[in-house]
Structure 1
Amino acid sequence: MADIIITNGIVVTMDPHRRIIENGAVAIDKDRIVAVGPTEEVLASHQAPTMIDASRKIVMPGLIDGHAHAGHGLIKTMGGGDSDAWYEACHKAYTVASTPEFWRAEARLAALERLRFGVTTGVSLLGGGDTILRTDEPIYGDAHCEGVREVGTRSVVAVGPTRPPHPRTYARIVDGKAVERPVSFEEQFETCKTLIDTWHGKHGGRLNIALITPTLRAEHLAELGAENLEEAKRQARLTADLAKEAGLVFTQDGHTKGSVAYAKELGILGPNALLSHSTNLTEDEIRIVADTGTSIAHNPSAIASILGRCPVPELLEAGANVCLGSDATAPDRSGDMFRHMQQCMHYHRTYFKDPTWLPPGRVLEMCTIDGARALGMDKDIGSLEVGKKADVVLLDLRRPHLYPLNMPVFRLIYFANGNDVDTVIVDGRIALQDRKALFVDEDEVLDDAQRETDAMLERTGFQSMLETPKMFWHHVRATDQIEH
């Protein structure tokens, strides 16, 4: 007996043999997969009260987003392409102008976006990078986790201390006014410990905490000065050590040439480490990543990938594990991992001027089983195998851009988009069916997001950032808007 059986689908297992079962079925009991195989064979040995007919649909593992930012969903295109204005909006909103209600509303909106796009697991940094994390008090992380829990997806929430010097100024909104106070590294560190105790591994393992510490790049080494540099190194080691002790993912944002070698000197790399962006790495740094078992989150649609290149093929050939990230939600990108798979292929093929690089199956691996490996979850998610958690996505092939019905896996990767997702099961629970979320009222989530965004704009006075920039039309380059 099972709880759910999905029948008659094209099952893309992502198992070690990468089996594709043309008329396949998946049986689910509670939160686990109990059978994967031809429909006739699965039905001969299993029955279930809930039957899902996946005719003309692909049945695949839930997608995994290896790098994104909480908070950004309510900031999105603010500044209209002006990076300085965007970062100013993030910094002020996340440190002195946001409430727990803001973080819950954004978490629900972002989790709903992921759910609708078939992303069942995602990493979310609690803020915009490593200098504006909302870790002054646990209430903001609590609100984020509660929002994700309501939608029903899986999340790895990255929290940690900000870059020295400390203290940093944060504010709690009281009666509509910002009450500012200085926050020390020690307070941020205690916030992280509290969030670990409260949320890590909770709700069937759907909610987990990761730790993040600021990436030290060349410009930071020059800016910090000797005293602050030593303190930054101490804090990085303390945070990385806590991650290892607690069995957590340890992540860093914004790596580039030189910073990986420096991280190795600090002793903070290893199988639990996940480094985002990682552009312009040297050959030695590629070797360091592979030798230490560190994973890389490649974000092909991010601005960092315009300013530099993550050497993904070279990393893979060296034996490193690379997953795919959206770096969402941000001024120019969403959480649609289909978009980022397609961008990934074209990005590296353009670099090599060779369309044979990164075959489509390889990039699907990057945001399924390789993403699970990067998060230390490959024994539970990332593929459709007996004994694994039931994170399953049904994608509707009966769409003009996906027909005729042949070469379905090619169509899945080259032509599909997040809006083709029909049904999503997370941890054995149907969270999306017929493109409709089952655990939350979508209109209520959207209205809540609008209300909290309007309140944040009122507190910050950033309404002018919503105006269309004067270089939007007619110009070839927005040269007075974006610094090159």
Structure 2
Amino acid sequence: MTWAPPLFLKLGVCNLIDLLLVNGVVITMDKDRRVLQDGAVAIDKGRILEVGDTQLLKDKYPAQKVVDCAHHCILPGFVDAHGHGGHSLFKTIATDNINDWMPIMTNTYKHYVTDDFWYYEGKLSALERLKAGITTGVSVLGSMPRSDDPIFALNHAKAYNEVGVREIVATGPCNPPWPHPFSRWVDGQKVTKEVTYEQVLAGAEAVIEALNHANNDKTRAYITPFVIVTSVNPSYPTPADQLFGLTDFDRYQARKIREIAKKYDTRIHSDAFGGMIHLAIQDKEYALLGPDVHLQHCRGISFDEAKILAETGTNVSASPGFGQINARTPITELLEMGATVAITTDGTSPMTPFDMFQAMRRMQLLQQAALRDYYYLPPGKLLEMVTIDAARCVGWDDELGSLEAGKKADVITVNMHQAHLNPENMHVHRVVYQAVGGDVNHVIVDGELIMDERRVLTVDEKQILKDANEEANRTIERAGLEIYMQPSKYFWGHARAYLDERRFDPTKL
């Protein structure tokens, strides 16, 4: 074959772009949902220059580094629109006490974690997300948000930035009563003080002022009250006959959250369950609903509440879990009404990994089972819900969620040259139905290659694991969590688990 000089040699071009991915199957998630069989992605100065045919882009763009993506799918990095900071050091603790898990963990976060805890946990959390292909992750600090001091969020964001993963720090007030006791650890001693609602709002404001669009816009900060209505059950749908209207504090909180969001031009994130949307919409001026809001869970909402979410343009995110069986998020109905819905991990405690591949499949199964219909949530829709739809949910789809010229270069590859992902055809089906987080081979964030063939380039992975284990053990001992780590006598050889003992005493909190 006669050799033909590349176009850049013919033109005498010598400027090198930063990075060129070649020879891969590019799943663009652009408006046409193009899938390029021998595709390439050109990247320079943190942005995508062009997506197209491999040979065309090789001729057009000489690069400082070329990554051969043969036998790989190239995708936009996943966006995990809801997870928790802190949880990565408490995986599976209190799973045998699942009905007491929330007060156990909330008490731990409020009184037994150090300032450094948030840094070590942030490193582990960011590392797990990175290695599973999540390039942007929302982190609600604690089980309920904690914002009595900005240091927790600042340390967490510092850790994420060092790893190289985008983080949306979500912090704000937990639920009443107020004032509320919180503890700091100073020189190994617990110092507890009563904190007012105004003080936690001030702490959240300080976080947003410091972190929103920080680190070259790899860090954002959203104002995040625990729930959008505080006067009803915060973790489960409230029956219609128990909805007695908004309280004065409900209205006060909505107004304060709206004022903070407007002041800092940021977004609002919160949890919601059935009954809350019916109540929230009654506050026409300050309702925590609308295009600048994304609500997690929305389990057990009524049809009229789903209509309110769709009509107000409120974004919804939901995670697959046992709670979906008792009170489902009406995902398919919301989608049919035109709402934006993202699938999230809600990771990683008590028992959920930061693995968007697993999250997609679990959510599909739960929705299909609930509706008794195999055909709901086809694989293409599932992939949209962790990429472009998830980016839209968090208000970042102008720059993230798809591989298109001009967008930020957040890109992952999936190694298809493995037994469980062969044969290499029907690539979207294969990625959605058979891949797992450990199949992600390369990760690029903001144009920087930060994982190369599963080797993390930004941090010392072994040191992160060592520090995280040591901090977890210190916190477990400090908080007295060992009792919640012991298997019950029904753990082995029984079809159903019982505890047969009282491990949790709420009077001692």
State the TM bucket, normalised to the shorter chain: over 0.9
In structure 2, what residue type is equivalent to 1:296?
V
CA contact (8 A) 1:324 1:366 kept: yes
Equivalent-residue separation in structure 2 for 1:299 and 1:377 (angstroms) = 20
Instruction: Tell me the equivalent position of 2:28.
Output: 13
- The aligned length equals 477
5+ residue gaps, structure 1, are none
Equivalent-residue separation in structure 1 for 2:424 and 2:293 (angstroms) = 41
Matches of residues 319-330 of structure 1 in structure 2 within 5 Å? 319-330=338-349
SS of equivalent residue, structure 1 residue 193: helix
Given the alignment of the two structures, is residue 113 of structure 1 paired with residue 128 of structure 2, yes or no? Answer: yes
Distance 1:226 1:351, change over 3 A: closer
Select 2:478's aligned residue among 427, 452, 459: 459
RMSD value, Cα: 2.1
Equivalent-residue separation in structure 1 for 2:488 and 2:100 (angstroms) = 12
Instruction: Tell me the equivalent position of 1:358.
Output: 377
Instruction: Tell me the equivalent position of 2:169.
Output: 157
Matches of residues 260-299 of structure 1 in structure 2 within 5 Å? 260-266=277-283, 267-299=287-319
Instruction: Tell me the equivalent position of 1:309.
Output: 328
Equivalent-residue separation in structure 2 for 1:148 and 1:37 (angstroms) = 32
In structure 2, what residue type is equivalent to 1:209?
A
CA positional deviation for 1:468: 1.7
Equivalent-residue separation in structure 2 for 1:225 and 1:297 (angstroms) = 24
Matches of residues 35-46 of structure 1 in structure 2 within 5 Å? 35-46=50-61
Select 1:236's aligned residue among 235, 249, 254: 254
Instruction: Tell me the equivalent position of 2:438.
Output: 419
Aligned identity (percent) is 37
Select 2:352's aligned residue among 333, 336, 358: 333
Equivalent-residue separation in structure 2 for 1:231 and 1:309 (angstroms) = 28
CA contact (8 A) 1:85 1:465 kept: no
Given the alignment of the two structures, is residue 148 of structure 1 paired with residue 163 of structure 2, yes or no? Answer: no
Given the alignment of the two structures, is residue 251 of structure 1 paired with residue 265 of structure 2, yes or no? Answer: no
After TM superposition, the structure 1 stretch with the greater mean CA deviation from structure 2, 458-467 or 272-281, is 458-467
- Computing the radius of gyration over CA atoms, which structure comes out larger, 1 or 2? 2
Given the alignment of the two structures, is residue 218 of structure 1 paired with residue 232 of structure 2, yes or no? Answer: yes
Equivalent-residue separation in structure 1 for 2:102 and 2:329 (angstroms) = 23
Distance 1:167 1:225, change over 3 A: farther
Matches of residues 78-157 of structure 1 in structure 2 within 5 Å? 78-129=93-144, 133-157=145-169
Instruction: Tell me the equivalent position of 2:210.
Output: 198
CA positional deviation for 1:120: 0.4
Q: TM-score, normalised by structure 2?
A: 0.90
In structure 1, what residue type is equivalent to 2:279?
Y
In structure 1, what residue type is equivalent to 2:268?
F
Equivalent-residue separation in structure 1 for 2:161 and 2:146 (angstroms) = 19
CA positional deviation for 1:347: 1.2
CA contact (8 A) 1:82 1:482 kept: no
Distance 1:41 1:471, change over 3 A: same
Equivalent-residue separation in structure 1 for 2:198 and 2:388 (angstroms) = 36
1:127-176 CA-partner distances (Å, limit 9, x unpaired): 103xxx22111111111111111110011111001212211111111221
In structure 2, what residue type is equivalent to 1:36?
V
Instruction: Tell me the equivalent position of 2:5.
Output: none
Distance 1:479 1:469, change over 3 A: closer
In structure 1, what residue type is equivalent to 2:294?
L
In structure 2, what residue type is equivalent to 1:237?
R
5+ residue gaps, structure 2, are 1-15, 503-509
Instruction: Tell me the equivalent position of 1:183.
Output: 195
Instruction: Tell me the equivalent position of 2:395.
Output: 376
SS of equivalent residue, structure 1 residue 81: helix
Equivalent-residue separation in structure 2 for 1:74 and 1:306 (angstroms) = 27
After TM superposition, the structure 1 stretch with the greater mean CA deviation from structure 2, 93-102 or 53-62, is 93-102
CA positional deviation for 1:181: 0.5
Equivalent-residue separation in structure 2 for 1:226 and 1:434 (angstroms) = 56
Matches of residues 428-467 of structure 1 in structure 2 within 5 Å? 428-467=447-486
Instruction: Tell me the equivalent position of 2:417.
Output: 398
Select 1:475's aligned residue among 469, 472, 494: 494
Equivalent-residue separation in structure 2 for 1:312 and 1:55 (angstroms) = 36
1:38-78 CA-partner distances (Å, limit 9, x unpaired): 00111121111100000000000000111111111111111
Equivalent-residue separation in structure 1 for 2:60 and 2:308 (angstroms) = 48
Matches of residues 342-353 of structure 1 in structure 2 within 5 Å? 342-353=361-372
CA contact (8 A) 1:156 1:208 kept: yes
In structure 2, what residue type is equivalent to 1:291?
E
Instruction: Tell me the equivalent position of 2:40.
Output: 25
After TM superposition, the structure 1 stretch with the greater mean CA deviation from structure 2, 243-252 or 170-179, is 243-252
Instruction: Tell me the equivalent position of 2:19.
Output: 4
SS of equivalent residue, structure 2 residue 204: helix
Q: TM-score, normalised by structure 1?
A: 0.95
CA contact (8 A) 2:335 2:341 kept: yes
Equivalent-residue separation in structure 1 for 2:77 and 2:347 (angstroms) = 18
Select 2:407's aligned residue among 377, 388, 391: 388
CA contact (8 A) 2:79 2:391 kept: yes
SS of equivalent residue, structure 2 residue 95: coil
Distance 1:306 1:481, change over 3 A: farther
Distance 1:31 1:481, change over 3 A: farther
